[in-house]
Amino acid sequence: MNWRYPRLPMERFGFVGLPNAGKSSLFNALAGGGALAAPYAFATTDPNVGVVKVPDQRLDALAEMSESRKVVNSTTEFVDIGGLVEGASQGEGLGNKFLAGIREVDALVLVLRTFSDEDVPGPSDPIEHLRIVEIELTLADLESVETRIDRRRKALRADPRDSALIAEVDALEEALNLLSEGTPLYRSDLSDDRRSALREHFLLTNKPVMAVLNIGEDQLSEADELASALGSALPGTEVLPLSVQLEAEAALLPDEERAELLEGLGLGEGALPVFVRAAHGMLGLRTFLTTGEQESRAWTFKEGWKAPQCAGRIHTDFERGFIRAEIIANDELLALGSWSAARDAGQLRLEGKDYLMRDGDVVEFRFNV
């Protein structure tokens, strides 16, 4: 889907959910602490913004192979805002002004709770969470569209042949209809063109969405069933079950202890890699790598990008002056042991400007400016 936000190099994810759903705890689980998580509503007032390195074992292995002096992971940003309550658009709770903090993120993460804890007030039915969150997001967008559409209609009357403006007003009209019926735009079949025409209005529901289902420590064995029950209320949306509290506690431990704890609980690598994979999947993001003595580095790109576009991630000159790329899959390179061994073995592929980059490609670009 090409309506996805093209903002690069860093992707930003905004957390939304009811008070006490576990947004700040999720933030802590991913960023390794830093946000106040507390068992009362509206613990979060100002947004917490965190930048994390995306863990990548391929990158680590390449850095070791090349004895790189520097290792640069790709990064992802999270924004944790205050909780939404029913009626937020009418000023209930903290109101919905703070939603402005996530207008410009690339995607929304709905944080929905299914854990029960008598010390933590709030419903523990994730469908109820979803209902309220969707109403409030939709009403916030409706408000934005209503205030903007009049201005755009007026502009169109002054300049009735401006085709971009025509497309924009059409898109706003359709969005207005959908939102008035209570449909968040990510649930609608709004065309890609219309979605792009709406982009500059930074609507909340005109973004890709995924859900984190916050399960209790005592619900680990039911994680998949709980997630698929929620999934049927969110067709086409990735639902990631996480025991956010456990993950937040684990994130504070030294590496070895954390691995041990997660292993013991059957939680594998922990929240961050699992979350990033799902989040990148939602945005259609892929990774290519560069490696050398000076540095090894991971770069994100969008599925469907060709070699010159990817080269442009490193430097615009690389894209402008693109000649060709030398490419090898990371596992093949690792097996051969070095870039020069790969070259000697004739295993570096020469690819031109139409080459569709693949996830895990290790690249050296040739360019001329």
Ligand X SMILES: Nc1nc2c(ncn2[C@@H]2O[C@H](COP(=O)(O)OP(=O)(O)OP(=O)(O)O)[C@@H](O)[C@H]2O)c(=O)[nH]1
Which residues contact Mg ion (rule: CB under 5 A)? 23-24, 43-44
Nearer CB in complex with ligand X: 84/334: 84
Residue 263's SS3 state is helix
Give φ, ψ of 39 to 5 degrees.
Answer: -80, 35
Nearer CB in complex with ligand X: 120/190: 120
Report yes or no: 43 and 5 within 8 Å, Cβ to Cβ. no
Q: How many residues bind ligand X (CB under 6 A)?
A: 26
CB of 10 to ligand X, least distance (A): 23
CB of 243 to ligand X, least distance (A): 5
Binding mask 198-217 for ligand X (x = CB under 6 A): ----------------x-xx
Cβ of 94: how many Cβ atoms within 10 Å?
A: 19
DSSP state of 219: G
Binding mask 107-126 for ligand X (x = CB under 6 A): --------x-x--x------
Q: Which of 297, 295, 321 is nearest to 307 (CA)?
A: 321
Give φ, ψ of 285 to 5 degrees.
Answer: -90, 145
Considering CB distances under 5 to 8 angstroms, the limit depending on partner class, which of Mg ion, ligand X, none binds residue 42? ligand X
CB of 225 to ligand X, least distance (A): 17
Nearer CB in complex with ligand X: 10/38: 38
Binding mask 18-57 for ligand X (x = CB under 6 A): -xxxxxxx-----------xxx-xxxx-------------
CA angle at 250 for the pair 244 and 256, rounded to the nearest 5°: 150
Peptide bond into 235 cis (omega under 30): no
Considering CB distances under 5 to 8 angstroms, the limit depending on partner class, which of ligand X, Mg ion, none binds residue 243? ligand X
Residue 41's SS3 state is coil
Tokens of 244: 């956010």
Tokens of 33: 């602490």
**CA-based torsion, 249, 255, 261, 264: positive or negative:** positive
Nearer CB in complex with ligand X: 246/298: 246
Nearer CB in complex with ligand X: 101/284: 101
Can you give the binding site for ligand X, defined by CB under 6 A? 17, 19-25, 37-39, 41-44, 82-83, 115, 117, 120, 214, 216-217, 243-245
